[in-house]
């Protein structure tokens, strides 16, 4: 994994006439890097034969996920109590007293919190995460280094800062982001007087819904960051890394590359039409020229008189739909739960800029 960029980057989502930029020395992770760190945390949390160790590591994982998705401070997360969660409403209330704020969280995190709460069965007023802050920081540093990042990019403050920039890049208004993260300086407080909690939750809910679609991946669509560009005389090959860690290759014209202003680090969505996807059994996957070869499991088969629709679910959750002939399906002999490969050429991948 490459180290974070320290470019001076303008960020969208501000009121008209305003401008937000990232200082050159800011320690920030982008969306794909945050996803890689999350995968590292999850793999570590499950990598022990001892149940008590797994439970302890799960607390660290949940603390990471809460900071990553709410932008809360470490001490705010460690102070959370069971009564501060509303998993059904996808809301966590951060901070205590009259300065608390309700923050939306993604569906999958709400589900994990619900399962964790059911397993703990502790009093509503008791702190849920009784973990030493220094221990949490050390584990975050270790997970950052495991991803190939400088250890201080795993600092809770860096994660909080990364979330704020991620929200701004998602066109969430600056005033809403400031209130969401609990900024309390006098000038910011005065500027936020006209932003109600209802308005804040509505704006955040829209952003969370967009993120949920990216994380669950719509059929035949991948969201990710461009990591390689090989420019030719007429066309260029563009490679992106998805949130699930997949590499998807696309070939587009140099005119499109320039018009879309694509460069390494740009976030795009890659789409593939179902008739352009080929299906292969395990023995046939290697002997072909397709630039994109993704292994998965057959999730559904819908057979018609002339053609058939085959749905393959990849290991990271994305579903790929292919439309093939009925005779081709009979020749492959595929059925639900069989292993299969989805194959599509780089020329079949359409890129859309976020």
Decide if 163 contacts 31 (C-beta within 8 A). no
Which two structure tokens, joined as six digits, stand for 334?
Answer: 């595929």
Task: Give pLDDT, residue 95.
Answer: 82
- The yes-or-no answer to whether 10-216 and 221-353 have a common fold is no
Q: 10-216: which CATH topology?
A: hpI Integrase; Chain A (1.10.443)
CATH class of 221-353: mainly beta
Give the model's pLDDT for residue 206. Answer: 67
Find residue 248's DSSP bridge partners. Answer: 240
Separation CA 159–CA 116 (nearest Å): 23
Supply the pLDDT for residue 8. 38
**Residue 144, burial from CB neighbour count under 10 angstroms (0-12, 13-18, 19+):** buried
Contact 87, 111 (CB under 8 A): yes
Cβ–Cβ < 8 Å for 278, 324: yes
Three-class SS state of 324: strand
Write down the domain spans for the chain: 10-216, 221-353
Asked whether 281 and 343 are in contact (CB, 8 A), the reply is: no
Are 57 and 42 within 8 A, CB to CB?
no
Provide the 3-class DSSP secondary structure of residue 247: strand
Q: Provide CB contacts within 8 A for 249, sequence distance 6+.
A: 237, 238, 239, 291, 292, 346, 349
pTM over 0.95, yes/no: no
pLDDT in single tens digits along all 354 residues of the chain: 445 544 433 333 333 333 455 666 778 898 999 999 999 999 999 998 999 899 999 999 999 999 999 999 999 999 999 999 987 788 999 986 667 888 889 888 999 999 998 888 777 788 888 899 999 999 999 999 999 999 999 999 999 989 988 887 777 777 777 778 886 553 433 333 344 566 566 667 767 766 666 655 567 889 999 999 999 999 999 999 998 899 999 999 999 999 898 999 999 999 999 999 999 887 666 667 889 999 999 999 999 999 999 999 998 888 899 999 999 999 888 899 999 999 999 999 999 986
Q: What is the pLDDT of residue 39?
A: 94
Q: Residues with Cβ < 8 Å from 82, sequence gap 6 or more? A: 117, 120, 122, 123, 124, 126, 128
């Amino acid at each position: 994994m490459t180290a974070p960029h320290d470019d001076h980057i303008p960020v969208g989502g501000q009121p008209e006439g305003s401008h937000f930029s990232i200082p050159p020395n800011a320690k920030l992770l982008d969306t794909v890097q945050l996803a890689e760190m999350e995968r590292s945390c999850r793999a570590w949390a499950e990598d022990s034969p001892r149940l008590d160790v797994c439970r302890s590591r799960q607390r660290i994982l949940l603390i990471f996920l809460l900071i990553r998705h709410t932008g809360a401070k470490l001490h705010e997360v460690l102070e959370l109590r069971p009564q501060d969660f509303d998993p059904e409403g996808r809301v966590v209330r951060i901070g205590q007293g009259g300065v608390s704020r309700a923050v939306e969280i993604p569906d999958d995190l709400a589900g994990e919190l619900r399962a964790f709460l059911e397993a703990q069965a502790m009093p509503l007023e008791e702190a849920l995460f009784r973990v030493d802050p220094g221990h949490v920081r050390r584990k975050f540093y270790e997970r950052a280094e495991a991803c190939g990042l400088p250890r201080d990019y795993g600092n809770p403050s860096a994660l909080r800062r990364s979330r704020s920039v991620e929200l701004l890049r998602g066109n969430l208004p600056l005033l809403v982001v400031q209130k969401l993260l609990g900024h309390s300086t006098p000038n910011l407080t005065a500027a936020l007087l006209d932003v109600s909690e209802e308005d804040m939750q509505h704006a955040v809910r829209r952003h969370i819904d967009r993120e949920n679609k990216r994380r669950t991946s719509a059929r035949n669509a991948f969201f990710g960051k461009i990591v390689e560009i090989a420019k030719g005389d007429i066309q260029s090959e563009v490679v992106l890394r998805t949130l699930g860690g997949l590499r998807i290759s696309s070939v587009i014209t140099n005119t499109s590359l320039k018009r879309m202003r694509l460069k390494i680090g740009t976030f795009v969505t890659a789409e593939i039409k179902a008739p352009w996807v080929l299906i292969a059994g395990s023995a046939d996957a290697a002997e072909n020229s397709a630039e994109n070869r993704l292994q998965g499991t057959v999730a559904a088969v819908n057979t018609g008189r002339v053609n058939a629709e085959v749905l393959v679910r990849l290991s990271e959750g994305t579903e790929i739909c292919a439309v093939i002939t009925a005779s081709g399906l009979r020749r492959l002999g595929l059925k639900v739960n069989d292993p299969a490969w989805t194959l599509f050429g780089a020329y079949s991948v359409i890129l859309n800029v976020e």
